[in-house]
Amino acid sequence: MTTVTLRNLRKKFDDVVAVDGIDLDVEDGEFLVIVGPSGCGKSTTLRLLAGLESATDGRIEMDGRDVTAVEPKDRNVAMVFQNYALYPHMTGRRNITFGMKSSGDFGDEEIERRVAEAADTLDIADLLDRKPEAMSGGERQRVALGRAIVRDPDAFLMDEPLSNLDAKLRIEMRAELARLHSTLGTTTVYVTHDQTEAMTLGERVVVMNDGGIMQVDEPQRLYDFPANRFVAEFIGDPAMNMIPVDVEDGRAVHDAFEIPLPLADAGDPVAADRNGVGEESLDDGRRAVLGVRPEDFRLPDPRTDDGLPRIDATVNVREPLGDSLLLHCSIGDASCNVQAAPRTDVGAGETVSVTYDPARLHLFDAETGEAFYHSEAHVSEAERPVPASVE
């Protein structure tokens, strides 16, 4: 069992800094997902862990042992690649056993036993005598996983292993990976650009951008308490609405609306505990960006009064998604998306009255993009409005 520790890890390719001094602790047996857009340094980080790239600066430790300069083969990690990296001229069985046989660390009987075990775990016994060209993408990735698990490595490193699969297969394999991890309990670092994969698979998720770590947290906390604008907009689909506002007198003020920002009594231990962000500073006149997720806007039932402000929004485009209806709206000069009930009778060009969940407001600094306020920390369960049914 293995812990992995990165300290001030840097990697420069000529003039490009791919990984810019990151610190990260991967716990023993953890499934850690690194997610980020293309070029954010997530794959480079994984390759540094594998030893396929050498670090420009910083340390990599496995179980407290400094492995920064250790050869890939001596790190006892197994890697799974996006393009499967199966040897095309070898059968499934040869692909799985080739590395073990070449390294000479295993006896023939031991190899046989392990292959049978892995084939059983992954249900690939019938693929062992086929060559990769006679396998589907999903089958190839299963064999590649088989090759990774037979060696019983200290850690699995997975570089977008599902990205070449079609959507349906990807969901199946996702569940398979989760099951595999709970069976084996091996420390796993998984890189993906797909936030759904990150959210569903990761026990913790690392969001990276521009070679730096933006936030490390459990998936739900990442969603509920994004540390900055980047995480807020990257996690969640459709993305969080971002509306520039001024903070005045405990209210978020925009040309087209004003909404009160719930604030717990000073010294409320619950608020202090639940808030993911340090000290809040709702100073008057502070320039900020108000973040509201599309599903936290709602079209209120006109018959009831929940006491919340109403915001006028003009619908530009309606996108029926089946399970919901996404309305692209303008609120003053800001554009934002509102998720409404699926069969809501609203057409393009109409003006609708929109309200919001006061517990799900986020404020980000207009300059730095750092979050400085999450309203959820200030709203107790009792104060929350019951989600209005809109039929």
Partner 1 sequence: MSTREIFDSRIESGLLLLPTLVVSVVFLYYPTAMAVRTSFFDSSFGQADEFVGLENYAALVTDSAYHSSVLLSVLFAAVVVAGVMAVSLYLTFLIHEVDTGQGVYLISVIWPYALPPAVGALVFLFIAHPTLGVLTGPIEALGVDVDWFNDGPQAFVVVALAAIWKQIGYNVIFMIAAMNNVPDTLTETARLDGVSGLRRLVSVYVPIMTPTLFFLVVINTIYAFFSTFAFVDLLTSGGPSNATNILIFDLYQEGFSFFNFGVASAKSVVLFLVVGALMLVQFRVTDEYSYYGA
**Dihedral angle of Cα 50, 214, 242, 348, to the nearest 10 degrees:** 10
Cα separation, 1 vs 186, whole angstroms: 7
Closest contact distance (angstroms) between CB of 147 and partner 1 is 8
Pick the closer one to partner 1 by CB: 8 or 136.
Answer: 136
Q: List residues near partner 1 by CB under 8 A.
A: 50-52, 71-74, 77-79, 81, 83, 85, 87-89, 98-100, 102-103, 105, 131-133, 147, 151
Closest contact distance (angstroms) between CB of 237 and partner 1 is 29
Pick the closer one to partner 1 by CB: 153 or 244.
Answer: 153
Pick the closer one to partner 1 by CB: 47 or 298.
Answer: 47
Pick the closer one to partner 1 by CB: 52 or 348.
Answer: 52
Closest contact distance (angstroms) between CB of 121 and partner 1 is 19
Pick the closer one to partner 1 by CB: 62 or 338.
Answer: 62
Pick the closer one to partner 1 by CB: 137 or 276.
Answer: 137
AA letter at 336: C
Cα separation, 289 vs 76, whole angstroms: 46
What are 156's strand-pairing partners? 78, 188
Cα separation, 230 vs 246, whole angstroms: 20
Pick the closer one to partner 1 by CB: 103 or 182.
Answer: 103
Closest contact distance (angstroms) between CB of 357 and partner 1 is 46
Closest contact distance (angstroms) between CB of 74 and partner 1 is 8
Closest contact distance (angstroms) between CB of 188 and partner 1 is 15
Closest contact distance (angstroms) between CB of 131 and partner 1 is 8
Closest contact distance (angstroms) between CB of 81 and partner 1 is 5
Pick the closer one to partner 1 by CB: 156 or 225.
Answer: 156
